[in-house]
Amino acid sequence: MRVAVIGGGIAGAELIRVASPCPLDFVLIEPKKQVEMQALYPEYLGGIARLQDLAAPLKPFCEKVGATHIQEKALSIEGSSVICEKSRVDFDYCVVATGAAQNYFGIQGVENTFSINTLEETKRARRFVEDNYPERIMIMGSGLTGVESASILAESLDASIYIIEAKDRVLPQFSPQTSALVEKALSKKGVNILTSTQVAEVKKDCIMFTDNTCLDCDMAIWTAGIKPSEFIQKLDLPKKNGWILVDPHLNAKGNIFCIGDCAWVEIDGRLATKTGLEAERQAKYLARHFRNMIKGRPFEKYSVRASTDSQVALISLGADCAVGVVGKTCIGVPTRLIYSLKSWIDKSFIKRFK
């Protein structure tokens, strides 16, 4: 049986790696040459992580596990075929794992911002930092990426760093206790935090807010949200809030499955977070599901580990410092040990594919 996997990020690549002992013909459809670890983008932006820590080439990986890499962009799914830019891939099963796109919420002037949602954009932002030495950096959005970027830049640059958040606290998706601890850590590093502040427009040299005030800036970094990609929007599959809706076995419809950020995974009232942790677990689950399917064995439904009402995360705050979050509990010590654990997890993921 042929399994077409659309997307070579954490979810897609990990699925193929774990399921490769199966007697299945995997075809990975991914326009990039490499699998990348998005969790390390803030550290690369701040000059801490190296490029070799962030990525591993897909061609030798696929050759090693017996998969085929189609280095093209998937355009659509028609029946049991994936239509790509130059080719057509027939499949018995298809797994959609294309991740998510940056969401700018219709804000004017976003062309004046930098994104760290992809490696290429992060590299562009890093080059700007190295070439221009910006003195005032505005980071819009205080999710994990925004908070980690602010922490690392505050230490690596002699610059004024601002976090701009529309809601009333940083890390609004986490518990108030976590937000308070992280806000305190950011303030100690000299990061300026502006909450309940909405951006109206980004100009080349300043940020305009909805209350008609503005702040001068030399560099604007957008980390304020994600949305379904254009490819996901066009697929004729069940959706919820624009994301592909899957059942408790991560099945979207018929012979099509979906995992990772592009999936709406809600099981027993628990909605999965769009994080690397969940993407990796969903990939491992689906690999086991394929093995059991081949052997004719029944399989239990997926169990969400990190849900929106009970977050699980390791948050880097720079200077070999990190905090751990499990539900409403925020573990702040020992900070170096937690940072070492996070660093080991992030870097060991890429090593799996080398």
CATH code of the domain in which 153 resides:
3.50.50.60
pLDDT for residue 112? 98
Q: Do 6 and 56 share a structural domain? A: yes
CA distance 184 to 195: 14
Same domain, yes or no, for 200 and 256?
A: no
CA distance 327 to 330: 8
Q: What was the pLDDT predicted at 334? A: 86
Please tell me whether residues 91 and 232 are part of one structural domain: yes
CB 46 within 8 A of CB 101: no
> Helix (H, G, I), strand (E, B), or coil: what is residue 144?
helix
Longest dimension (CA), the chain: 64
Please count the structural domains in the chain. Answer: 2
Classify residue 276: in a domain, yes or no: yes
Structure tokens of 299?
């399989």
Q: What is the pLDDT of residue 22?
A: 85
Residues 209 and 263 occupy one common structural domain: no
What is the pLDDT at residue 143?
A: 96
Instruction: Indicate if 221 and 111 belong to the same structural domain.
Output: yes
What is the token pair recorded at 181? 């601890």
Would you say residue 285 lies in a domain? yes
The pLDDT, as a whole number, for residue 333 is 83
- Tell me: do 232 and 280 sit in the same domain: yes
Q: Are residues 116 and 96 located together in one domain of the fold?
A: no
Domain contains 164: yes
Claim to verify: residue 109 and residue 221 sit in the same structural domain = yes
Same-domain status, 115 and 205? yes
Q: Which of 306, 113, 323, 74 is nearest to 225 (CA)?
A: 113
Q: How far apart are CA 233 and CA 101, in angstroms?
A: 11
DSSP helix/strand/coil, 24:
coil
Distances (CA, A) of 59 to 8, 53, 117, 280: 11, 17, 23, 20
Which one of 174, 201, 226 terminates a domain? 226
Q: Does residue 121 sit in the same domain as residue 23?
A: no
Same structural domain for residues 131 and 161?
Answer: yes
Question: Would you say residue 115 lies in a domain?
Answer: yes
Q: Would you tell me how many other CB atoms lie within 10 Å of the CB of residue 88?
A: 9
Look at residue 338 and tell me if it is in a domain. no
Domain presence at residue 172: yes
Domain that holds residue 202: 104-226
Pair (112, 72) in one structural domain? no
- Check: CB of residue 224 under 8 Å from CB of residue 242: no
In a domain, 166, yes or no: yes
Per-residue pLDDT of the chain (354 residues; tens, 9 = 90+): 999 999 999 999 999 999 988 889 999 999 999 999 999 999 999 999 999 999 999 999 999 999 999 999 999 999 999 999 999 999 999 999 999 999 999 999 999 999 999 999 999 999 999 999 999 999 999 999 999 999 999 999 999 999 999 999 999 999 999 999 999 999 999 999 999 999 999 999 999 999 999 999 999 999 999 999 999 999 999 999 999 999 999 999 999 999 999 999 999 999 999 999 999 999 999 999 999 988 898 889 999 999 999 999 999 998 889 999 999 899 988 889 999 999 999 999 999 999
pLDDT value at residue 319: 82
Domain finish residue from 226, 254, 285: 226
Which pairs count as long-range contacts for 17-23, CB under 8 Å and 24+ apart, including other chains? 17/61, 17/65, 17/352, 17/353, 18/283, 18/284, 18/287, 18/288, 19/286, 19/287, 19/290, 19/291, 20/65, 20/66, 20/67, 22/287, 22/290, 22/291, 22/294, 23/294
How far is 54 from 141, CA to CA, in rounded Å?
23
